[in-house]
Amino acid sequence: GARWRARRAGTAGRMFYETRFLDNLAPGAVGGPSTLTDVVPRESGGEQRNIVWSEPRQRYSIGLVHRPQAELEALASFFRIMRGRAHGFRFRDLTDYTVSTTYGQLGTSSLGTGALAYSLYKRYTAAGAHDYRRIRKPVSGTVTVYRNASPVTVGAAPGNIAIDYTTGIVTFVPDATDAISAITQANPGKITTGAAHGLSNGQLVYLDGIAGMTQLNGQVVTVTVVDADEFTIGVNTTAYGAYTSGGTVKLGPQPADVLTWAGDFDVP
């Protein structure tokens, strides 16, 4: 019978609609992840196998035989709006669309890195090995993020988070912030804050908003306390631009923090 096919692909250069493919047709889908592997014969009689795609691509077939006319018309409308393969959309794979905290993690390590933004991942485990799938299309309202097994509130207060359901990016509000008043050109560079920073040796902090020594913006650096207002950052700033003004030290999740999540997701 007639078949309708959809593939998961990149979204560069095309519009991505956040609309999910017709839920009443998705249960009839057959398919899932597919891979591309080059098998190269060797003169010895052995083979070399090369993984071509860094991630599997999802492919599904949906039978259209014996479907009600209303479903066929809805499919035709959806196909025309998406221009076939021109635009992206969401698809719910009913064989794999949810994750628990056992396998849902932020980043591939599930540990804090001092950064504020983290991608959602689902971990697959078999035969003692792991594979990590980045989740780019979580389902709105279903995601709960946990820090050390405690749920994290969505909001604007210190330690809260924002969840981008169109990208799968979770951004933490810093636990604490300090304004920068000076940075030395030295090895290692030294930061002076406008008030007592309250940091400890070995903590990781995120820097941004710095004028002049812009090379430090977006970096995560390691704190070595000098005194209540100063700490070195383990970075050679000798060749960096001279600090002029501004900048903020932001304290986010640390390597001791375990970051997990649970919720539903779609295939892009």
pLDDT value of position 165: 98
User: Which residue matches tokens 């990149």?
Assistant: 10
Q: What is the rounded average pLDDT of the residues 177-188?
A: 97
Decide: 142 and 92 in contact? Cβ < 8 Å. Answer: no
pLDDT value of position 10: 47
113 pLDDT higher than 60: yes
Question: Which of these, 183, 114, 137, lies nearest to 11 by C-alpha position?
Answer: 137
pLDDT value of position 200: 96
User: In the structure encoding, which two tokens stand for residue 248, read together?
Assistant: 């903020």
Residue 181 and residue 131: Cα distance in Å, rounded?
44
pLDDT value of position 5: 52
pLDDT digits (tens, 9 = 90+) for 69-88: 999 999 999 999 999 889 99
pLDDT digits (tens, 9 = 90+) for 215-264: 999 999 999 999 999 999 999 999 999 999 999 999 999 999 999 999 99
14 pLDDT higher than 70: no
Q: What is the rounded average pLDDT of the residues 86-95?
A: 93
Question: Which of these, 211, 218, 220, lies nearest to 246 by C-alpha position?
Answer: 211
Rounded percentage of the chain residues whose pLDDT exceeds 70 = 95
Q: What band does 28 get if pLDDT is binned at 50, 70 and 90?
A: confident
User: In the structure encoding, which two tokens stand for residue 159, read together?
Assistant: 């330690």
pLDDT digits (tens, 9 = 90+) for 131-173: 999 999 999 999 999 999 999 999 999 999 999 999 999 999 9
7 pLDDT higher than 60: no
Decide: 229 and 193 in contact? Cβ < 8 Å. Answer: yes
User: In the structure encoding, which two tokens stand for residue 24, read together?
Assistant: 């009443």
Residue 204 and residue 221: Cα distance in Å, rounded?
6
What is the chain's Cα-based Rg? 24
pLDDT value of position 194: 87
pLDDT value of position 6: 47
Burial of 266 (0-12, 13-18, 19+ CB in 10 A): buried
Q: What is the rounded average pLDDT of the residues 168-182?
A: 97
